[in-house]
Structures are given as structure tokens and as C-alpha cells.
């Protein structure tokens, strides 16, 4: 596979639509397209300026027009990939679009692999690795908050934060190895204590940044959340309140919900993939028991557990059993009724306790706040840059660990050279994250998760 051979792919979803777009990119792409595209005005794409369009036909193997399309010409380096490119806006049917692509492939283009256009944009210096990765976040954004974050990332916030970390790590490296490496420069060595402190602080910042991954996930992809509790405490009422519709049946009969009812909702800007479950109780009847088993399985798999208790009743064994799953958020429901519950055992287990009336929605704002806190989404208000992918998290963790290891070596009195090895590794982990020093395997791995045509 050549670095800049001509690739082509359909960039829009398969389905009937007004238009679909086929992208073509690579060295000689314009002349190649001229082989199958006949402009109405007789002009050749290869003679057109960048950012100009032409109406014309794509001609099939048999010499007949397949479709009438608009071709937009992009000239290197002013295109998404940085190469000469053409985008054909075809009529948006699956069959007709496939025939247009086929004509382009017959004329010499190669079917692009997933993410290959973005990969070229990265390799040609049009996008940093984090910017390229954030293109996917923009595409996948499911909420206003997710889109805002993705756009910030695409604007290079993480890159700026990483280059600041890299600059500081390099500065420490220069100072601790001052005497060994730069005797003539007259650079002063940091005292060991100062170097250790700086390294630890920097390590913490890398790990902090790596830690933003969970919160980012909460805002972009959603968190597997289970609403659990004893029968009749108001789980389904809460589910309906959060989803703003009658997702689950509510009744005063204990054991109403038996299947797992699911709904994806936004709570405080966080996307929750909610599962309302059968109420837990001892010795349920046969069908209900199946439901309880399902609840227990969901409880052990969920990332976030919202435990619901009936505040108007004393705590029972089924309530205590739920606490064994360490729910992060406890809802003391039915706050409109006289309260009889002892919250102390709940307080011992749960980070957040919220008094609520699911029937009226009172306390919902407190729940939203708790959700933002517990998922780490709250930290995003003014965080500069965040970690959006597992690759970024892995690099930042390695950088953080390398810097901490260097601090330990210095602290134990080892030679500065030994600490320098760890600092260099930390710097190269940061470079891998930003893409300035990354192996082709890693690049292929990242871009292969993108869709074809992206």
C-alpha cells in the first residue's frame, strides 16, 4: 500500500437520502477522476482551481452515465487529507452511489480503509493525533455537552495541555542532568528535593489528566446505570421521571416490574443508560424470582448504581442486601410522607444520599448534581483538555508513572542518569499521545476504529 495512492470511499451512511458523498484522495486523484467524470461545461477537474465545483456525469464501464453529480475539487495542501481530492455529491440511493464508487474504483482508485482519510490528514500534518481522534467524538456526540467537549478537543485543548507537560518534563530533565550532559552550558542543577517535588507534581498532573477519561465517557458515551431497590419503593416512578415518559409501569402492587426496562436519558448533562429492574425481595414467586436474578446480575455489572429506598418505611433486610453492592447514590424516596427510615447504614455505604419525591420530581436537581459529581463530569466545567480515548489514557498513565519513578530514584539517591531514563520514557509517552512520536502499529490501531470514508 503506497503512502499517497488514490483512495475512494462513500463518506455518508448507506440508505436512501437526498445526496451521498464519495471522497477521493491521493496523488493524481484529479486526473484519475477525469477518466470517469464528464463535466457539462467540458472542463477537466485537473484544470480546475481548488474549492471549485463542476456539474457532470459519472460514466460507467459501458460508456453510459451512471449518475449526474457535482464534483468539488480540493488541491493539495488545502484539503482535509492535505492531498489532491475530489468530493462527488451523488444522488443518495444505495444502488446509484455504489455504481458511482465502482466506476471510480475501475478507473484506478483503491477502496479506502476505515479512517484512512483521517490517517492521511494526520500523516500530512493537517491534524494532530488528538484532533483526529476528536473528529470521531464530534461524529459520535449524542448531547449538547458531548458536542461542546468534542469541539473543544478538536480545537487542540488537550494538545496544549500535553505540550505544557512535555515542556516542564524536558526542563527538569535538562536540570537534573545538567552537570553530566551540559557542563559547558553552566546550567544549574536542581537540588534533589526540588527536582523530586517538581517530578511528583508533574506526575500527578499526567495522572489527573488520564483520570478525566471516565468523566469524558460519562458525557460522551453514557454510563451503564441500574436503578435498584426493594419492591414498591418507587424505582419505576424514578425511571419515568428521568426519561420524561411512561417507560415503566407504576403501580402500588409490590413486584410490578419483572423485566429489565431500559432507557437512555440525560441527567445533569451526563448520559445515563438506565435499567429499571425488578424489586428485590426475599422469597419471590417463580416469575418474579427470574426478575430478581436479572436485577442482581445488572447490579454486579453496572458502572453506576442508584439505590432507591422508601423513606416512609423502616429499613428491611432487602434494603440492607442492596447496600452490599456499594451503590454510589442512594435515593430516600417518598419524602412527601412521614419519614421512618434509619439512614445511618445507608450513609456508611453511599457517597450521596438524596431525599426525593419521585412522584413530584422534588430533589431531581440534587440527583443531577450527584450524578455529575460521581461520574467525574463535574470536573469538566473548566478543565483545559481531557482524555478521550483509551490510547490517550494509557500514554498519560505511562507518563505519570515514569515521572513518579524518576522522583523515587532521585529520592533514593540513585544517579541522575537513572532518573533521566524514566523521564525520557515519560516524554516519549507524551509524544506518543500527541502523535509526534508514534509507531505505525499504534496509528493503524487508532484509525482502524474509524468508519470507512472518515
Ligand X SMILES: Nc1nc2c(ncn2[C@@H]2O[C@H](COP(=O)(O)OP(=O)(O)OP(=O)(O)O)[C@@H](O)[C@H]2O)c(=O)[nH]1
SS3 state at 28: coil
Span from 55-63, 169-177, 234-242, 387-395 in contact with ligand X (CB under 6 A): 234-242
Helix (H) or strand (E) holding 408: helix 390-411
231 binds Mg ion (CB under 5 A): no
SS3 state at 418: helix
Contacts of residue 347, defined as CB under 8 A and 6 or more positions apart, other chains included, come to 353
Q: Cis (ω within 30 of 0) for the bond into 435?
A: no
In the bound state with ligand X, the residue whose beta carbon lies nearer, of 81 and 231, is: 231
In the bound state with Mg ion, the residue whose beta carbon lies nearer, of 5 and 321, is: 321
What is the footprint of ligand X within residues 81-110 (CB under 6 A)?
A: none
In the bound state with ligand X, the residue whose beta carbon lies nearer, of 124 and 355, is: 355
x/- letters, 341..370, toward ligand X (CB under 6 A): ----------------xxx-----------
Question: What one-character-per-residue DSSP string does 179-240 give?
Answer: HHH-GGGTPPPPPHHHHHHHHHHHHHHHHHHHTHHHHHHHHHT-EEEEEEEBTTSSHHHHHH
Alpha carbon distance 94, 86 (integer Å): 20
In the bound state with Mg ion, the residue whose beta carbon lies nearer, of 253 and 381, is: 253
Task: By CB under 5 A, name the one of 118, 153, 220, 236 that touches Mg ion.
Answer: 236
**Long-range contact set of residues 195-200: C-beta below 8 Å, sequence gap at least 24:** 195/407, 195/410, 195/419, 196/407, 196/410, 196/411, 198/168, 198/172, 199/172, 199/403, 199/404, 199/406, 199/407, 199/410, 199/419, 199/423, 200/403, 200/404, 200/407
> Least distance (Å) from ligand X to the CB of residue 301?
19
In the bound state with ligand X, the residue whose beta carbon lies nearer, of 225 and 237, is: 237
233 binds ligand X (CB under 6 A): yes
Alpha carbon distance 133, 427 (integer Å): 20
Span from 8-16, 27-35, 256-264, 430-438 in contact with Mg ion (CB under 5 A): 256-264
> Least distance (Å) from Mg ion to the CB of residue 259?
10
Task: By CB under 6 A, name the one of 144, 337, 421, 437 that touches ligand X.
Answer: 337
Taking the CA atoms of residue 357, residue 362, residue 364 and residue 366 in that order, the dihedral angle to the nearest 10 degrees is: -100
The CA–CA distances, whole Å, from 27 to 54, 89, 153, 449 equal 20, 21, 30, 25
Which listed option, ligand X, Mg ion, none, makes contact with residue 41 (CB within 5 to 8 Å by class)? none
The CA–CA distances, whole Å, from 193 to 189, 196, 206, 420, 421 equal 11, 5, 20, 15, 19
Residue number of the CB closest to ligand X reads: 279
x/- letters, 278..307, toward ligand X (CB under 6 A): -x----------------------------
Span from 6-14, 93-101, 120-128, 329-337 in contact with ligand X (CB under 6 A): 329-337
Task: By CB under 6 A, name the one of 22, 32, 169, 250 that touches ligand X.
Answer: 250
In the bound state with ligand X, the residue whose beta carbon lies nearer, of 252 and 440, is: 252
In the bound state with Mg ion, the residue whose beta carbon lies nearer, of 252 and 440, is: 252
Bridge partners of residue 88, in order along the sequence: 22, 71
Cell 463535466 belongs to 39
257 binds ligand X (CB under 6 A): yes
Span from 74-82, 185-193, 252-260, 350-358 in contact with Mg ion (CB under 5 A): 252-260
Residues of this chain that bind ligand X (CB under 6 A): 229, 231-237, 250-252, 254-257, 279, 333-334, 336-337, 357-359
Residues of this chain that bind Mg ion (CB under 5 A): 235-236, 256-257
Amino acid at each position: 500500500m503506497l503512502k499517497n495512492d488514490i483512495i475512494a470511499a462513500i463518506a455518508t451512511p448507506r440508505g436512501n437520502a437526498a445526496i451521498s458523498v464519495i471522497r477521493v484522495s491521493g496523488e493524481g486523484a484529479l486526473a484519475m477522476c477525469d477518466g470517469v467524470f464528464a463535466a457539462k461545461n467540458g472542463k477537466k477537474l485537473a484544470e480546475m482551481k481548488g474549492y471549485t465545483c463542476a456539474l457532470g456525469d459519472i460514466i460507467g464501464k459501458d460508456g453510459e452515465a451512471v449518475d449526474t453529480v457535482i464534483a468539488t475539487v480540493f488541491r493539495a495542501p488545502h484539503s482535509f487529507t492535505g492531498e489532491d481530492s475530489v468530493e462527488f455529491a451523488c444522488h443518495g440511493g444505495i444502488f446509484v452511489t455504489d455504481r458511482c464508487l465502482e466506476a471510480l474504483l475501475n478507473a484506478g482508485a483503491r477502496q479506502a480503509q476505515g479512517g484512512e482519510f483521517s490517517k492521511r490528514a494526520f500523516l500530512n500534518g493537517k491534524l494532530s493525533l488528538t484532533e483526529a481522534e476528536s473528529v470521531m467524538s464530534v461524529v459520535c456526540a449524542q448531547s449538547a455537552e458531548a458536542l461542546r467537549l468534542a469541539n473543544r478537543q478538536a480545537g487542540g485543548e488537550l494538545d496544549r495541555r500535553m505540550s505544557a507537560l512535555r515542556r516542564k518534563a524536558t526542563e527538569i530533565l535538562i536540570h537534573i542532568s545538567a552537570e553530566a550532559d551540559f557542563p559547558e552550558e553552566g546550567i544549574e542543577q536542581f537540588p534533589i528535593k526540588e527536582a523530586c517535588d517538581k517530578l511528583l507534581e508533574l506526575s500527578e498532573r499526567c495522572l489527573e489528566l488520564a483520570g478525566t477519561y471516565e468523566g469524558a465517557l460519562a458525557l460522551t458515551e453514557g454510563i451503564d446505570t441500574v436503578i435498584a431497590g426493594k419492591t414498591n419503593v418507587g424505582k419505576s416512578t424514578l425511571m419515568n421521571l428521568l426519561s420524561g415518559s411512561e417507560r415503566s409501569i407504576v403501580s402500588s402492587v409490590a413486584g410490578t416490574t419483572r423485566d429489565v426496562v431500559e432507557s437512555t436519558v440525560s441527567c445533569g448533562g451526563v448520559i445515563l443508560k438506565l435499567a429499571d429492574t425488578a424489586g428485590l425481595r426475599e422469597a419471590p414467586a417463580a416469575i418474579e424470582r427470574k426478575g430478581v436474578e436479572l436485577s442482581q446480575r445488572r447490579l454486579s455489572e453496572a458502572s453506576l448504581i442508584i439505590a432507591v429506598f422508601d423513606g416512609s418505611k423502616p429499613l428491611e433486610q432487602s434494603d440492607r442486601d442492596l447496600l452490599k453492592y456499594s451503590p454510589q447514590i442512594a435515593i430516600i424516596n417518598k419524602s412527601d410522607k412521614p419519614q421512618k427510615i434509619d439512614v445511618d447504614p445507608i450513609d456508611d455505604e453511599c457517597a450521596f444520599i438524596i431525599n426525593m419525591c419521585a412522584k413530584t420530581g422534588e430533589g431531581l436537581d440534587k440527583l443531577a448534581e450527584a450524578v455529575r459529581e460521581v461520574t467525574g463530569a463535574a470536573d469538566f466545567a473548566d478543565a483545559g483538555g481531557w482524555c478521550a480515548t483509551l490510547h490517550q489514557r494509557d500514554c498519560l498513565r505511562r507518563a505519570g508513572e515514569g515521572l513518579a519513578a524518576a522522583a523515587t530514584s532521585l529520592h533514593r539517591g540513585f544517579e541522575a542518569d537513572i532518573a533521566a531514563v524514566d523521564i525520557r520514557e515519560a516524554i516519549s509517552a507524551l509524544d506518543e499521545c500527541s502523535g509526534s512520536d508514534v509507531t505505525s502499529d499504534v496509528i493503524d490501531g487508532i484509525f482502524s476504529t474509524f468508519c470507512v470514508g472518515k
